[in-house]
Amino acid sequence: MPEAVTALLSEWLVLSAILALGSVVVVAGVFVVGARLFPTTVQHSTRLTGEGKRRREIREYLRSIDEPFAENHPVCSQPVAFYLPKRDVAITFDARVYYRIQRSETHAVLVEHELPGVHLGSRLPFDTPDLALDEGTGVDPASAAFGVLGLPAGASVAEVKTAYREKVKQVHPDHGGDHEEFRRVREAYTTAKEHAG
């Protein structure tokens, strides 16, 4: 009797292994056919954020002041976002690179990802033309920034900070606000703080 039970168990094991393998093949086939019949399209966003957006803004700013530059250029064996060869100025987003270059003769400029490109001029070690009006709209960026915060032009730094805190509570994405509006308020805060009275 034990031989009959062993033979029966062997048959069941072989049969269940064949069924399991067959099931795997069928499921894999369904996925392959599904992928062919219903291909998924990957949506790539063309909207730039963070460093990509700042690079574009800095590129536009440097072109608007007719300053020649090279992107992703090595300075002191460190890659920098922008290098101004006529002025020997390196612009970087990386604090470690900034401190390494700062020890050399090249003038290093550290740019935060939140700094709008038009404000780079105040950080450069040479005089830059005053781009008082936004070329696209003809609007003074400082006045527009104060307007976004709901303040009159020339408000104090304390007023700017208070207005910013209140505005952020309304537009922050964690509180149901819009990412784009939040970014606009942060940029307005940076601009208004620099032009505060």
Contact 110, 97 (CB under 8 A): no
- The tens digit of pLDDT for each residue in 107-134 reads 999 988 777 777 788 788 988 776 554 5
CA distances to 66, 82, 102, 133 from 59, in Å: 11, 9, 22, 18
Could you tell me the two tokens for 174?
């964690």
| Of residues 52 and 135, more confidently modeled | 52
Question: Above 80 in pLDDT, residue 5?
Answer: no
pLDDT, average across residues 14-42: 83
Question: Above 80 in pLDDT, residue 156?
Answer: yes
Pairing label, strands 89-92, 107-110 = parallel
Give the three-class secondary structure for 92: strand
pLDDT band at residue 140 under the 50/70/90 scheme: low
DSSP string, 72-141: EEEETTEEEEEEETTTTEEEES-HHHHHHHHTSSSEEEE--TTS-GGGGGGTSSS------S-TTT---H
Question: What's the pLDDT at 44?
Answer: 46
| Of residues 191 and 74, more confidently modeled | 74
Q: Mean pLDDT lowest for which of 13-22, 61-70, 134-143?
A: 134-143
Question: Above 80 in pLDDT, residue 48?
Answer: no
Average pLDDT, the chain: 81
CATH fold of the domain at 48-130: Endonuclease; Chain A (3.40.960)
The domain at 132-197 falls in which architecture?
Answer: Orthogonal Bundle (1.10)
Name the DSSP class of 176.
T
- The tens digit of pLDDT for each residue in 52-75 reads 878 888 888 888 888 999 999 999
Percent of the chain with pLDDT over 70: 87
Question: Above 90 in pLDDT, residue 85?
Answer: yes
Question: What's the pLDDT at 68?
Answer: 93
Question: What's the pLDDT at 195?
Answer: 81
Would you kindly state where each structural domain of the chain is located, as residue ranges?
Answer: 1-44, 48-130, 132-197
Distance CA 144, CA 170 (A): 19
The β-bridge partners of 109 are 91
pTM: 0.48
Give the three-class secondary structure for 9: helix
Highest mean pLDDT among 35-44, 88-97, 151-160, 179-188: 88-97
Report the amino acid identity of residue 179: H
